[in-house]
């Protein structure tokens, strides 16, 4: 579903793809955007049409022009065979896992992975007869030693969205493939603009489109993209489970994607500026941002990424929880809440539950996760400076 200009030119820069792909003005009376299709029933004209099942759309649950227009863009960005929109990032993780696993199989999950995906594996997959084990996100090719004959999937998130370890995806992919397992990568942080897991050997890529793709904190959507080899299992499981994304939500993803390149570049620049500045502030023990030279995985980051995301963490010197409250309760610009990826800045105290089992988080002090939005950078720094002062005064 290209618009006229892009289909007749050979332009392939990511900015051009984001601007032109997935639109068909000629099909929409010249209107620029693919509109919101809302629909369940799709009509067949004749019994022959019904019997042959050859028309483009058969029933609303399988998708419509609005959802497909978005899928086209994500497929091109990730260099995938196909993409499907699903109702949330968590649904994308769960469908991706189920597409690789059956009773009796085993899955290896990064110890730094998004916690609800881990809870899904420990509870739902366990009930279905799948074992889930966890690995050190810095294990690299050493993951070969953890492979069992029944290991059929590896779930990586690089970098982890709380602690920002970068994973050696080519090494992990090789070990997985040698063992007959597929590698699933959560690419929500970098987006395909800065990191292309399929080109590094992954088989499936998932996104919390809720975050950077939507970009405005106003919709929940996930995407699953896959290689041609892995795709049929993804679509089969999605269809069996009846996952569907509405045209309304898909439209918000499409709208977000049109400005993704601009937003990512600006998020990158601002987050990196803020992270480097925080490294110089009193009371700051460590800043966990892979694009900083001080980050332990910086070399791996430089090898496999072309840019960095909006999100990083900062470790403050030890202080009681009342000091954390003094910091965050008094913030004027940074909001406190889950998710990230919108235009507005967020600051979230990180609390590790039972979620890390291989590499428990042992650093002294309090960890804050920061999403840098589009407020004035100096205003944001002033807000954090005042927070640090309150924190240190309450030690």
Q: How many CB atoms lie within 10 A of CB 144?
A: 15
Interface with ligand PLP, residue 210, by CB under 6 A: yes
Residue whose CB is nearest to ligand PLP in the complex, by number: 89
User: 61 an active-site residue?
Assistant: yes
The stretch among 17-25, 208-216, 343-351, 355-363 that binds ligand PLP (CB under 6 A) is 208-216
Comparing CA positions, the residue from 186, 194, 176, 114 lying closest to residue 139 is: 176
Is 268 one of the annotated active-site residues of the chain?
no
Contact 285, 294 (CB under 8 A): no
Catalytic residue, chosen from 105, 168, 186, 233, is 186
Helices (H), the chain: 4-8, 14-20, 47-52, 65-78, 89-100, 115-120, 126-127, 169-178, 191-194, 231-241, 247-258, 260-279, 298-304, 321-329, 377-393
Partnered with residue 153 across adjacent β-strands are 107, 182
In this chain, which stretch among 192-200, 207-215, 239-247, 270-278 interacts with ligand PLP, using CB under 6 A? 207-215
**Would you count residue 114 as binding ligand PLP (CB under 6 A)?**
yes
State which of residues 222, 256, 290, 373 lies at the interface with ligand PLP (CB under 6 A). Answer: 222
Q: According to the binding rule CB under 6 A, does residue 111 interact with ligand PLP?
A: no
364: how many CB neighbours lie within 10 A of its CB?
8
Q: Which span sits near ligand PLP by CB under 6 A: 83-91, 130-138, 235-243, 350-358?
A: 83-91
Q: Check if 186 is active-site.
A: yes
Establish whether 233 is a catalytic residue. no
How many CB atoms are closer than 10 A to CB 242?
7
The active-site residue out of 114, 135, 243, 391 is 114
3-state secondary structure of 218: coil
The answer to the question of residue 345 lying near ligand PLP (CB under 6 A) is no
Using CB under 6 A, which residues numbered 167 to 196 contact ligand PLP? 186, 188
CB 97 within 8 A of CB 121: yes
| Positions that interact with ligand PLP (CB under 6 A) | 88-90, 114, 157, 161, 186, 188, 208, 210-211, 220, 222, 339
Q: Which residues are annotated as catalytic?
A: 61, 114, 186, 211
């Amino acid at each position: 579903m290209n618009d006229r200009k892009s289909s007749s030119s050979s332009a392939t820069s990511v900015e051009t793809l984001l601007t032109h792909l997935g639109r068909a003005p000629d099909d929409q009376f010249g209107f620029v955007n693919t509109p919101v299709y809302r629909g369940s029933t799709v009509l067949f004209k004749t019994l022959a049409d019904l019997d042959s099942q050859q028309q483009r759309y058969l029933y609303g649950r399988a998708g419509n022009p609005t959802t497909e227009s978005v899928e086209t863009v994500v497929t091109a960005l990730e260099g995938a065979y196909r993409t499907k929109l699903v109702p949330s990032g968590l649904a994308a993780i769960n469908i991706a896992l189920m597409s690789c696993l059956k009773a009796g199989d085993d899955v290896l999950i990064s110890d730094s992975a998004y916690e609800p995906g881990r809870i899904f594996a420990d509870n739902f997959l366990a009930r279905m007869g799948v074992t889930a084990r966890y690995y050190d996100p810095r294990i690299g090719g050493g993951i070969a030693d953890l492979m069992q004959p029944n290991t059929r999937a590896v779930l990586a998130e690089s970098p982890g969205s709380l602690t920002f370890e970068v994973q050696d995806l080519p090494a992990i992919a090789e070990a997985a493939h040698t063992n007959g397992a597929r590698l699933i990568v959560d690419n929500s942080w970098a987006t395909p603009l800065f990191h292309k897991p399929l080109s590094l050997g992954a088989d499936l890529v998932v996104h919390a489109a809720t975050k950077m793709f939507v970009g405005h904190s106003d919709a929940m959507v996930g995407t699953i993209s896959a290689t041609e080899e892995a795709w049929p299992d993804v679509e089969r499981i999605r269809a069996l489970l009846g996952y569907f994304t509405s045209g309304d939500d898909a439209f918000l993803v499409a709208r977000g994607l049109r400005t993704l390149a601009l937003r990512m570049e600006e998020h990158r620049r601002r987050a990196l500026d803020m992270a480097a500045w925080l490294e110089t502030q009193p009371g700051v023990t460590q800043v966990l941002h892979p694009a900083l030279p001080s980050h332990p995985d910086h070399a791996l980051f430089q090898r496999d990424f072309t840019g960095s995301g909006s999100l990083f963490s900062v470790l403050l010197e030890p202080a009681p929880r009342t000091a954390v409250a003094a910091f965050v309760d008094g913030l004027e610009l940074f909001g406190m809440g889950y998710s990230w990826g919108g235009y507005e800045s967020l600051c979230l105290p990180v609390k590790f539950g039972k979620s890390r089992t291989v590499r428990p988080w042992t650093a002294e002090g309090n960890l804050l996760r920061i999403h840098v939005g589009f407020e004035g950078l100096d205003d944001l720094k002033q807000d954090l400076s005042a927070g640090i002062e309150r924190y240190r005064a309450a030690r």
